[in-house]
Each structure stands twice: as structure tokens, then as C-alpha cells.
């Protein structure tokens, strides 16, 4: 799925800088602490900024159901490390656990843990977008150079 999205991303007609920016915005949103709102936020930004939705959605879905638990855990750990908050027993982090109401009730009762999570997730958002923009820009430019070299030049017809 991701390979197909990447292939489609590489073949967009938008300038590489604009496509890389849309991807980086998507990566920023995908790692943000606003869990559950990523697609809505990305759609609004894509419409208002007239960005390519495929590029933004591909960036968002770097953070997917298989990676959400480690990303949430890393966000909490990073935030606690920066703030110096004490380590509190967190509920079991798994995709199935995070889909339950009990998990979020327990998190809400431990509201002190939301600030470290939000801080850590925001830092991961900034880092992921800062890395993804130049990486995607390089990838897009290299792909397009390779594609231009691979297509033979067709001589223009001479008009008389």
C-alpha cells in the first residue's frame, strides 16, 4: 500500500518543492498529538492551501495502525524526559487497547500524562516534517531526473 502511494506521489505533476512540502505537512500532522483528527486536519489544510491531497495523506499515514502504539509510547517517554515528570504506570499500549474506552478513561484520569505526551508528540511532529521535506524533495528530483533521461527525445516536426 505504501509503495503504491509512494509511486503515485513520485508521478504527480506538481513541482517537487510543493509535493515535498505537502508530504512534510502530512508527516507533521501524522505525528501530532491530535489523535483521531489527522485526516480532518489534513483535508482542511489541503483544501485551504491547495495542496495535493495524495501527498498530504501519504505523509499522514506514515503513522498508521501498526506504528501508533510505539509512536505514542515514544511521545510520552520523550515528553516525560524533557519535563522531568515522574514515570507513572501507563496502561498497556497496543492498538487493541487504544481502541477501548477504558484505555482513554484511564489516560484522562492521569491528566498529568497528557502534557508530556503532547510535548513529545509535537517534538516528533517537528522532527519528522523537518526530515521528510528534504528527503522527499531529493527523492522527487532524483526520480524525475532519472525519468527524463529514460525518455527518448522526440524531434519536433519541422514546419514549412
* Residue-wise DSSP of 4-56: HHHHHHHT-SS-HHHHHHHHHHHHHHHTSS-TT-HHHHHHHHHHHHT--HHHH
Domain that holds residue 47: 2-63+128-146
Lowest pLDDT segment from 71-75, 126-130, 147-151: 147-151
Statement: residue 29 has pLDDT above 60: yes
Is 120 within a domain? no
Is 154 within a domain? no
CA distances from 5 to 11, 18, 80 (A): 10, 17, 35
Number of structural domains found in the chain: 2
CA distances from 134 to 23, 122, 130, 139 (A): 10, 19, 7, 8
> Who has greater pLDDT, 1 or 27?
27
Is 85 within a domain? yes
> Who has greater pLDDT, 107 or 159?
107
**Does 8 lie in the same domain as 56?**
yes
Least Cα distance to 91 among 82, 79, 100 occurs for: 100
Q: What integer is the mean pLDDT of 127-132?
A: 95
**Does 75 lie in the same domain as 51?**
no
Work out whether the CA dihedral 82, 86, 91, 92 comes out positive or negative. Answer: positive
Is 151 within a domain? no
The pLDDT score that the predictor gives to residue 24 is: 95
> Who has greater pLDDT, 160 or 139?
139
Statement: residue 122 has pLDDT above 90: yes
Residues with Cβ within 8 Å of residue 133, at least 6 apart in sequence:
20, 21, 23, 24
Percent of the chain with pLDDT over 90: 30
The pLDDT score that the predictor gives to residue 159 is: 52
**Does 59 lie in the same domain as 16?**
yes
**Does 6 lie in the same domain as 55?**
yes
111 — pLDDT class (breaks 50, 70, 90)? low
**Does 59 lie in the same domain as 80?**
no
**Does 22 lie in the same domain as 100?**
no
**Does 72 lie in the same domain as 35?**
no
Q: Which helix (H) or strand (E) holds 74?
A: helix 68-83
Amino acid at each position: 500500500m505504501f509503495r503504491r502511494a509512494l509511486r503515485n506521489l513520485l508521478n504527480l505533476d506538481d513541482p517537487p518543492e510543493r509535493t515535498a512540502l505537502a508530504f512534510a505537512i502530512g508527516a507533521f500532522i501524522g505525528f501530532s498529538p491530535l489523535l483521531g483528527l489527522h485526516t480532518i486536519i489534513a483535508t482542511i489544510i489541503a483544501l485551504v492551501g491547495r495542496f495535493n491531497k495524495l501527498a498530504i495523506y501519504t505523509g499522514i499515514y506514515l503513522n498508521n495502525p501498526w506504528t501508533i502504539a510505539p509512536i505514542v509510547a515514544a511521545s510520552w517517554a520523550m515528553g516525560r524526559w524533557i519535563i522531568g515528570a515522574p514515570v507513572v504506570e501507563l496502561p498497556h499500549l497496543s492498538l487493541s487497547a487504544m481502541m477501548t474506552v477504558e484505555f482513554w478513561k484511564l489516560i484522562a484520569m492521569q491528566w498529568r500524562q497528557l502534557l508530556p505526551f503532547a510535548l513529545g508528540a509535537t517534538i516528533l511532529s517537528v522532527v519528522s516534517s523537518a526530515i521528510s521535506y528534504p528527503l522527499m524533495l531529493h527523492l522527487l528530483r532524483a526520480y524525475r531526473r532519472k525519468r527524463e533521461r529514460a525518455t527518448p527525445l522526440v524531434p519536433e516536426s519541422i514546419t514549412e
